[in-house]
Structure formats: structure tokens, C-alpha cells
Amino acid sequence: MRRVSWFNLTSLTFGFAFLYLPMVVLVVYSFNSNKLVTVWAGFSTKWYGELFRNEAFLDAAWVTLRVALLSSTMATVLGTMAAYVLVRGGKFFGRTLFSGTLYAPLVMPDVILGLSLLLLFISIGLDRGMVTIVLAHTTFAMSYVAVVVSSRLVSFDRALEEAALDLGCTPLDAFRSVTLPIIAPAVISGWLLGFTLSLDDLVIASFTSGPSSTTLPIKIFSAVRLGVSPEINALSSILIGIVTVGVLTFSISSKRAIMKRMREENRAET
Amino acid sequence: MRRAVLILLPYTWLAALFLVPFLIVIKISLSDTALAIPPYTPTLDLTQGWEGIRTWWAGLDFENFVFLTEDDLYWKAYLSSLKIAVISTLITLSIGYPIAYGMARAPEEWRPTLMMLVILPFWTSFLIRVYAWKAILSKEGFLNQILLATGLIDDPLIILNTNTAVYIGIVYTYLPFMILPLYAALEKLDGALLEAAEDLGCSRLSAFWLVTVPLSKQGIIAGCFLVFIPVVGEFVIPALLGGSETLMIGKVLWEEFFSNRDWPVASAVAVILLAILIIPIVLFLKNEEKQREAEG
């Protein structure tokens, strides 16, 4: 095993400290009993209590959750189809335009996406509300799903699909029983990515939401625009906690799945 | 038949919700502001047939674009966004490269954990990570408290609501976008190449410049575009951390739309922003395509 050089160790330590310290500070100060966020006055969980009594935040959280569930699911279906078509579909008319429009939302500034979608909804007379946010989020989340799924599709052995077809599977059967189980981890991470992106989005949701459908990021943004607030610290800590638990569970379970598959493959070979 | 459905469904979706909206933005950027619902004129009235289309077409002009060139707020905002994006991309690259390099050189059993440590902030709310800096950088904030307590400074530093805070916020939130493609490129790098370079008389530093950097070129390109392009149109960071000196076009567009309710001007701002970004976006897409082909 190679020794870790001092330079590498230092850059890793400083790099990760930079990435994590702000979040640690945020979580620690969410337990501060003082109304002045930055002045420590003792441990307290009262801001969490306040948060759960705040109807407006709870309503917004419920809207956000439903939007995220719907849009990430739709984005996963569409994004997986798009990735499959691009990687396996061969040549077809407009392929370059298709891949361009599929990957462009990855880097397109949110303000442009939000504005253009809003103007579309206005000109076809669709009332702004949950439906419009779901449509908007599906559109940009499907790009992320397509990236994740296509990288998995590229890397796996095509012969497996061909074998299934040779053995009499219909293309749909082959997809269901061979391709889908193999790309499943990528499809799930695509869904999770779409889900968190939707939970997190402020700009596109601000453009496409109506007065009856405020999402959590819109609420957070209007609360923190003027300054820091202890309730938002508590809310942020909860969200950081959920993401941490989610990412840990997912990476541990996918690691287990890989180990299990490797063991089975070893057994099959001996 | 099935293949056609498979192609058409995502294609139609993207055409309807990504391409068509841009055409509408262009159309509205050529309209005039009006006190009406929707707040612009002319609107296309198809019930009048050809006559409706003709009057609609006649009402379109480049007035908003002329207005944008006359008021120096706009071009200053474009220039300052580009400047902020270039500088912060370079800072992110110079911080991200050593981290990605350290990750790729770390013992193999560390790598999944290190990878997860980069991905975790990437999954954590963007808004919250920007907000976290508000409490750190404010006048009574965490940073000033530490610096004052250790006696390094006598008066609190004013960082929040300046461009410095915007740079810190951008570098912080976009760092994972830089590290991930760099790491992907550096991890594939064959250590034997470096040894060969050193055996042939290269110093370690020149081996790094002559072998490592060129071989990680695609990662550098991908990372820089992933940071640069969205930062040019960034809204949240300048809105939360910036001050009155911070001029960024994403914020101008937002205010034009939400505060001034001037949809045609907001659309014109978006059209020019897109025109500026179209070259980097196309280059980014080409780079991605090249990478996919290299893998496939």
C-alpha cells in the first residue's frame, strides 16, 4: 500500500474541513436558546418545537414533498427512456439535437429555465400551482436521471441483453429481466437525485408556483433574505440530518449489494 | 413501432417544455410592456386568422434590446457576472484539484468514504449551504467571534454583503461539481505513467505538469464548465450573500421580472444571457459527448 503523502493529507483535511464546517456550525447553533443566532446562551431544543407549531412551514413542506415525489418519479421514467434511447437506440433523426436538449438543463442557469417555463404556462393558459411546478421539475430532473442511467448503460456488457434476445425473450422481456435489474442502482440514484433537486429548488419553483402553492425553499428564502433566524437553523439541521441518513443508508446498502454479487460470482466460478 | 414510442415520448416532452419555452422567451423579448394580463403586447390572437398573425407580427420589434444597450446597468451586470464566474471558477479549480488529486491517490479502501464525503454536501440543500455562510460571515458571526477572541483582529471584518462573501459562497457551493469530474479523470490515471516519467528524468513537479494535468484535461474542462455556466446566471448566492456593490445578471433578471414586472425586458435579458452562454454550453455538451464515446 502506498503511503499517503503529507501534501495529499493536508489538502484532503483542509478541503473537507471547508466543506463541512459551515454545516456543523449551522447544526450546533440550531440548539442555541438565544434568539440572537450567533450569541450562544445555552442548549435548547425550543426552535425545533417552534418549527413544528408553524403551520405555514408545515404546509409548504407538504407541498414540497408531494411535488418532489411526483416529479422525481416522472423524471425517472422519462430520463431512463431517454438514456436508453441514446445509448442503445442507434442512429435516428435528430439524435444530436435530442442529446443536446437532454443535457443542456444540467448547466442552464435556473433563472432562464424558470422564466421560459413560466412564459410557456402563461401562454397556454395553464394556472400556476402544483401542476406547473411538477412539470418544471420533471423537465430538469430528467436530465440528471439520464446522465446517471446512461453512464451505467454504457459500462455494462451488451452481450447479456443479446443473449436474452437469442434465448427467445421479447425486447420488453429482455429489458425487464436483464437490463433493468442491472441498471437498477443507477435508476434509484437518479430518482433520489431528482427528488433532492426538487426539494431544493428555489428559482424555478418561484417562477412556476402560484399563490396557493408555496414550497419550502420559497418560504426559507423569504425568511432568510433579511437575516439569520433560529427556526431556519432548526429546519436546516433537520434537512441536513435527513440527507445524511439517506446517503449513508443508500451507500451502505449498495456496497452490501455489490459485495453480495461479488460473492455469488465467485461461487459461480468455483 | 415500440422504438418510435420510446424515442418520441422523452423527445416530445423536451421539445414542449424546453425548446418551445425558449421560442416564447424570444417572442416576448420582442414585445412591449403593457398594463394588462399577460403584461405585454401584442398577444397572438388566432381567432382572427391571418389578420391576427399579421398584426401580432407587426407589433414585434427590438425596442427592449435597444433599451438594454442604452442603460449601462445591464452591460455592467453582464460583465461583472462574467468576471465573477471566471474568477470563482479559477479559485474552485485551484482548491478542487488538490482535493481530487488527494482522493485519487488515497489508499483504495478510503476512496468510497472520501467519495461519499464529497457527495454528501452535493446532495444537501444548496439554499441551506449558502444560508450557513450568512451566520458565519456576518459582523457578529462565527468567523469574527473567533478572530476577535484569538486577538488576530481588533475590529470585526465586514465580509457579508460584499463581493468577497459572494466568492466564498460560490466556491463553497460549487466545489463538489468541480471535484467529482476531476476525481473521475484522476482516478483512471495509470500510476506507471508517472513512474516512467520520473525514471526518464522528470522531476515530480514536471511529471505532474507534463503527465497528470494533460491526462486529466477532460475532467478539468467538465468541472470548469459545470461551475462557470451556472454561476454566470446565479441568483441565490448574490441575493443572500452579496450587497449593493454586487452586480449579477441573474439578480437583475429576477428583479426585472418580480419587482418591476417588466416581462419583455426580463425576457430580453434572458435572451442575451443565453446568447453569451450558448458557446460554453455547446462546448460543454461536446466534451460530454466525447467522454461518453471514449467510455462506450
Looking at the domain assignment, is residue A17 inside a domain?
A: no
B223: which residues sit within 8 A by CB, 6+ positions away?
B92, B93, B96, B177, B178, B179, B180, B181, B182
A1 interaction partners in chain B (CB closer than 8 Å): 107
- For the ranges A249-258, B62-71, B214-223, the maximum mean pLDDT occurs at B214-223
Residue range B22-29: mean pLDDT, rounded:
90
- ipTM computed for the complex: 0.85
Looking at the domain assignment, is residue A148 inside a domain?
A: yes
Looking at the domain assignment, is residue A120 inside a domain?
A: yes
Interface test mutation site (partner B, options A38, A92, A107, max chain B beta carbons within 10 A):
A107
What is the sign of the dihedral through the CA atoms of B190, B191, B194 and B198?
A: negative
Question: What's the pLDDT tens digit per position in A141-180?
Answer: 999 999 889 888 887 778 888 888 888 888 888 888 888 8
Min Cα–Cα distance to chain B from A191, Å: 12
A122 plus A214 within the same structural domain: yes
A124 plus A222 within the same structural domain: yes
Cis bond before residue B98 (omega within 30° of 0): no
Nearest CA in chain A to B225: A107
**Among the listed residues B181, B226, B29, the one whose alpha carbon sits nearest the alpha carbon of residue A104:** B226
Is pLDDT at A265 greater than 80 in this prediction? no
Interface test mutation site (partner A, options B108, B134, B172, max chain A beta carbons within 10 A):
B134
Report yes or no: A155 at the B interface, CB cutoff 8 Å: yes
* Percent over 90 (pLDDT), chain B: 37
* DSSP per position, B21-50: HHHHHHHHHTSEE-SSSSSEE----GGGTH
- Average pLDDT across chain B, whole number: 87
Nearest CA in chain A to B15: A101
Is pLDDT at A1 greater than 50 in this prediction? no
CATH number at residue B119: 1.10.3720.10
Which domain range does residue B118 map to? 71-295
How many Å apart are CA A183 and CA A161, to the nearest integer? 12
Is pLDDT at A2 greater than 60 in this prediction? no
Which domain range does residue A185 map to? 51-227
A114 plus A248 within the same structural domain: no
Q: Where are the alpha helices (DSSP H) in B138-216?
A: 142-149, 163-187, 191-199, 204-207, 213-215
Question: What's the pLDDT tens digit per position in A204-243?
Answer: 999 999 888 899 999 999 888 877 788 888 999 998 898 8
CA dist list (Å): A212 to A56, A57, A140, A208, B150: 12, 13, 23, 12, 50
A61 plus A179 within the same structural domain: yes
Report yes or no: A111 at the B interface, CB cutoff 8 Å: yes
A78 interaction partners in chain B (CB closer than 8 Å): 9-10, 13
Total domains in chain B come to 1
Question: What's the pLDDT tens digit per position in A182-212?
Answer: 888 889 989 988 998 899 899 999 999 988 8
Query: Which candidate from B19, B250, B284 shows the least CB-CB separation from A101?
Result: B19
Min Cα–Cα distance to chain B from A115, Å: 8
Ramachandran class of A151: left when φ > 0, alpha when ψ lies in -120 to 50, beta otherwise:
alpha
A153 plus A244 within the same structural domain: no
Please give the helix or strand (H or E) that residue A181 lies within, else none: helix A180-200
A119: which residues sit within 8 A by CB, 6+ positions away?
B21, B24, B25, B28, B263, B267
Say what the pLDDT of residue B295 is: 66
Nearest CA in chain A to B241: A225
A244 plus A221 within the same structural domain: no
Looking at the domain assignment, is residue B39 inside a domain?
A: no
How many Å apart are CA B103 and CA A218, to the nearest integer? 36
A270 plus A205 within the same structural domain: no
Size of interface A-B (CB pairs under 8 A): 259
Is pLDDT at A35 greater than 90 in this prediction? no
Nearest CA in chain A to B229: A107
Contact A98 B11 (CB under 8 A): yes
Query: Which candidate from B28, B128, B145 shows the least CB-CB separation from A239?
Result: B128
CA dist list (Å): B196 to A4, B183, B186: 20, 22, 17
How many Å apart are CA B115 and CA B125, to the nearest integer? 18
Interface test mutation site (partner A, options B258, B285, B286, max chain A beta carbons within 10 A):
B285
Contact B292 A220 (CB under 8 A): no
Q: Is A225 helix (H, G, I), strand (E, B) or coil?
A: coil
How many Å apart are CA A99 and CA B285, to the nearest integer? 9
Q: Is the model more confident about B278 or about A3?
A: B278
Looking at the domain assignment, is residue B208 inside a domain?
A: yes
Cis bond before residue A230 (omega within 30° of 0): no
A233 plus A188 within the same structural domain: no
Report yes or no: A206 at the B interface, CB cutoff 8 Å: yes
Please give the helix or strand (H or E) that residue A122 lies within, else none: helix A110-123
Looking at the domain assignment, is residue A21 inside a domain?
A: no
Total domains in chain A come to 2
A264 plus A206 within the same structural domain: no
How many Å apart are CA B8 and CA B12, to the nearest integer? 6
A172 interaction partners in chain B (CB closer than 8 Å): 2
CATH number at residue A222: 1.10.3720.10
A216 plus A248 within the same structural domain: no
Place of cell 431544543: A45
How many Å apart are CA B259 and CA B266, to the nearest integer? 11
A204 plus A261 within the same structural domain: no
DSSP E strand boundaries for chain B: 32-33, 40-41
A60 plus A160 within the same structural domain: yes
